[in-house]
Amino acid sequence: MPLVVMKFGGTSVGNPQSREQAVHRIRTQVEAGYDVCVVVSAMGRSGEPYATDTLLSMVRQVNEDVNAQELDLACACGEILSSVVMTATLCRQGLQAVSLTGWQAGIITDGRFGDARIRRVQPDFVLEHLSEGKVAVVAGFQGRTERGEVTTLGRGGSDISAVALGVGLAAELVEIYTDVDGVKAADPKLVPDASTIPVVTYEELCQLAHEGARVVHPVAAELAMRNGLALRIRSTFEEGVGTLVTAGDVDLEPPPFGVPLRPVTAVTTMDNMAHVEIDFPAHWDSSDELRLFRLLADAHISLDMILVTPFRKAFIVSAEKSQATRVALEEAGFTVCITPECAKVTVVGGGMRGVPGVMVRVASALHKADIDIIQTADSHMSISCLIREWHMQEAVRALYRNFYLGD
């Protein structure tokens, strides 16, 4: 039988009404003749009794210095409980179902507690239950090491679980169910009437995920792309086909004669960033440049929007890392200027590859909104601008309008 993996996030399993909606989605696929593997996140969000943050807080109130391995064991409980509750709901509705932990489902990881990477998937146990006509409900976000130690896959890791199982089970489709009806052309919190994108390419989805869009985990997007796995993002609560993620070979209705292909698919943001600038005197050389970046690597500080010129180095870091960045560099003798409260605004689109004039449209939109650009970065399908954080909403709306993303 064809097989589908269906992943439901925390808001989709957080209360009885949401779970009933999820059951309706699952039943639809079962009645359509699919074997179904369901992956669930922990129930609810921060502050709710069984959310991951709540479990972490419970442990840290006892001991702030609990090691990552112990925290992983605590965090895994949220998804396990969620899988059991979802299984009970399915069985009450007349569907055969069984709950499985991530390790029972065959997810084997390395030993990076708190941010483990999947090494392989051995889904024999899942396949056994599917062959018996059961829905396999798997606790997302978790796996085990070769030694049997419980690990978690990092925030948003249930997406990774779903795609990895989709690959391991040779699924026909992986569906990511959330509280929005697909990938949006902008964050609905910033553009309330943001349009839903019917089709995006794997590359666009990966770029959007890495640039701050919170629809699918970046690792899950890359894993789906590498394996050519069909992916669809849908709403648990609304009817509609959602967003299909493809390699770009889906036949779509062409634009009217004389209307060019749209260069930008969506605009996304990353806030809470700090801009770091280091002046390089003329007598310094490449060895000092190497020392600069090595210091930051050794301090486990991730850099973005890196700009390197003979007399100036600049990049951005997360706000929470800004003080550690200052300390590491000043102790090493570097002169540092840090601008806090910055945001990165990025336009993404496979249609901009090789198309002149996209940057001038970006700059024009921000200029008309009286927003200064601090620094830029680009790739073959994205242009990012660093701005002051308090301009973020207006910047997103200006770019959304300028590229006609609502049409």
What's the CATH number where 304 sits? Answer: 3.30.2130.10
Q: Which of 84-98, 101-115, 213-227, 249-263 has the lowest mean pLDDT?
A: 249-263
Per the structure, how many domains does the chain have? 2
Residue 142 located in a structural domain? yes
Residues 101 and 206 occupy one common structural domain: yes
Residues 52 and 115 occupy one common structural domain: yes
Mean pLDDT, the chain, rounded, equals 91
pLDDT tens-digit readout, 317-361: 999 999 999 999 999 999 999 999 999 999 999 888 888 899 999
What pLDDT shows up at residue 163? 96
Residues 32 and 181 occupy one common structural domain: yes
Residues 206 and 93 occupy one common structural domain: yes
- pLDDT beyond 60 at 253: no
pLDDT tens-digit readout, 281-312: 877 777 888 999 999 999 999 999 999 988 88
Q: Which of 76-90, 107-121, 210-224, 302-316 has the lowest mean pLDDT?
A: 210-224
Residue 363 located in a structural domain? yes
Residue 371 located in a structural domain? yes
Residues 220 and 305 occupy one common structural domain: no
pLDDT tens-digit readout, 136-175: 999 999 999 999 999 999 988 999 999 999 999 999 999 9
Q: Which of these three, 187, 213, 246, is where a domain ends?
A: 246
pLDDT level of residue 248 (50, 70, 90 thresholds): low
- pLDDT beyond 60 at 256: no
Residue 260 located in a structural domain? no
Residues 218 and 274 occupy one common structural domain: no
Tally the C-alpha atoms within 13 A of residue 357's C-alpha that lie toward its C-beta: 7
Plot region of 404 (φ>0 → left; ψ -120 to 50 → alpha; else → beta): left
What pLDDT shows up at residue 255? 44
Residues 228 and 272 occupy one common structural domain: no
Cα(140)–Cα(121) distance, integer angstroms? 13
Residues 117 and 215 occupy one common structural domain: yes
Residues 223 and 312 occupy one common structural domain: no
Residue 279 lies in domain: 266-402
Residue 257 located in a structural domain? no
The answer for residues whose C-beta is within 8 angstroms of residue 246's C-beta and 6 or more apart is: 199, 200, 201, 202, 230
Residues 279 and 211 occupy one common structural domain: no
Q: Which of these three, 212, 246, 280, is where a domain ends?
A: 246
Model pTM score = 0.87
What pLDDT shows up at residue 102? 96
The pair phi, psi for residue 235, each rounded to 5°, is: -95, 140
Residues 71 and 158 occupy one common structural domain: yes
Residues 242 and 294 occupy one common structural domain: no
Residue 88 located in a structural domain? yes
Residue 407 located in a structural domain? no
CB distance 150 to 142 below 8 Å = yes
pLDDT level of residue 264 (50, 70, 90 thresholds): very high
Give the chain's end-to-end CA distance (angstroms, integer): 40
Looking up residue 24, the CATH number of its domain turns out to be: 3.40.1160.10
Q: Which of 238-242, 255-259, 318-322, 339-343 has the lowest mean pLDDT?
A: 255-259
What pLDDT shows up at residue 250? 44
- Kindly state the average pLDDT of the residues 87-116: 96
What pLDDT shows up at residue 320? 94
pLDDT level of residue 261 (50, 70, 90 thresholds): low
Residue 256 located in a structural domain? no
